[in-house]
Amino acid sequence: MNILLKSARILDTQNQSLHGKVRDIWIKNGRIEKIASSVSPEARTKVIERPNLHVSKGWIDSSVSFGEPGYEERETLAHGARVAALSGFTDVVLNPNTHPIPDTSGDIVFINKTAAGKGARVHPMGALTRASAGTDLSEMYDMKKAGAVAFYDFKSPVGQSNLLKIALQYAQGFDALVLSFPMDSSIAATGTVNEGNTSTQLGLKGIPALAEEIQIARDLYILEYTGGKLHIPTISSSGAVALIGEAKKKGLDVTCSVAIHNLYYTDEVLVDFDTNFKVMPPLRTSKDREALRKGLKNGVIDMVTSDHMPIDIEEKRVEFDRAAYGSLGLESSFGILNSIFGPDKTVDLLTAGHKRFGLPAPAIKEGEPVSLSLFNPEGDHLITKESLESTSKNSMYAGRKVKGLVYGSVTGQQVFLKK
């Protein structure tokens, strides 16, 4: 299929010769054939024109959950990949939190085959330990050969320090990335929200930032001893930013991400006990939120994630303490970030992360494979449950007005555009 993006403004801060320029982009057989002020389309060319059309390199999300296998009622792999593509994402890193938990090469092969060609490219992570039980290492080497991009016990802390030490040492033999969830379970205990004024007022059990910071400090000490590559997903506190900043100054190979909702909300939104705001790690204070935003601006925090997690209504429409953790996020990512940072910084944040997960970085250049996100950064857009493409509807952003609108994405010869 031939595709022509007509009069598209290119946002690419790393390519100043094109950044901010309006160009036609002609795509032929999955590659960028020509970028010019005007291109006359050949026969059988799909011409894409949209109001104030902007394009950037394809976006990536480093922490996405769907459901299949085991929880197809939440979201199937095929439909989830399509939702991601319509939300502007060309690549998503899939969390290992299905049933069964992917801890063998066969599990990774199943995910890759099932999701292939359905939308955004889905890159599965494998469990770090068998069944994510935190006892024995999984078949990491075999899963890496089968296509796993990293290893992670999703939202489950590595409680045994020696196990993390062994994992980091073992992973170096095949250049694997290890993830460690930043939470000390003994301190977090049965808490559900940030420990502070709000938790006290609402009578909810709290999780202090200390639980996150102690775990990160331990992990960084182990990393300094072992070497290897460590990624700390979804940090939420100002202390975490400071710890990781110091580790980077030492030259440790550590990266981290922050969930977009921790950049936007604070725990004060919990006043109505809306379970869509129940996430892990929890929403924290305005001081933490500002530290996280600053950490992104100065480069201590490497990437953002929607931490997208579809959940059945039956698991959300219950008492707050009993409700499942998680919120949708893919479809609102651009609008929320654009409302906070503006389009240039938003695109920079959404295009970070490919290299860390061993994925080829897209480029807007003639001859390169096509991986493009399409959007309009201007205007207000109201997020409603009715507008959500996801199967589940547990979005903490429903009813929020954000800046900008995503049109979709183009990956290879596949075009995914919202109506």
List active site positions: 307
Q: In whole angstroms, what is the distance from residue 18 CA to residue 328 CA?
A: 33
Burial level of 278, CB count in 10 A (0-12/13-18/19+)? Answer: buried
In sequence order, the 6+-apart residues with CB closer than 8 A to the CB of 369 are 30, 31, 32, 362, 412
**H or E stretch covering 256:** strand 254-259
Beta bridge pairs of residue 24: 36
Please name which of 231, 280, 248, 281 lies closest in space to residue 128, comparing C-alpha atoms.
231
CA dihedral 137, 141, 147, 149 (to 10 degrees): 60
- How much of the chain is helix, strand and coil, in % rounded to 5? 35, 25, 40
Length of the chain: 419
| Contact indicator for 25, 33 with CB cutoff of 8 Å | no
Q: Residue 206: phi, psi to the nearest 5?
A: -100, 155
Q: In whole angstroms, what is the distance from residue 377 CA to residue 346 CA?
A: 10
CA angle 251/153/305 to nearest 5° reads: 65
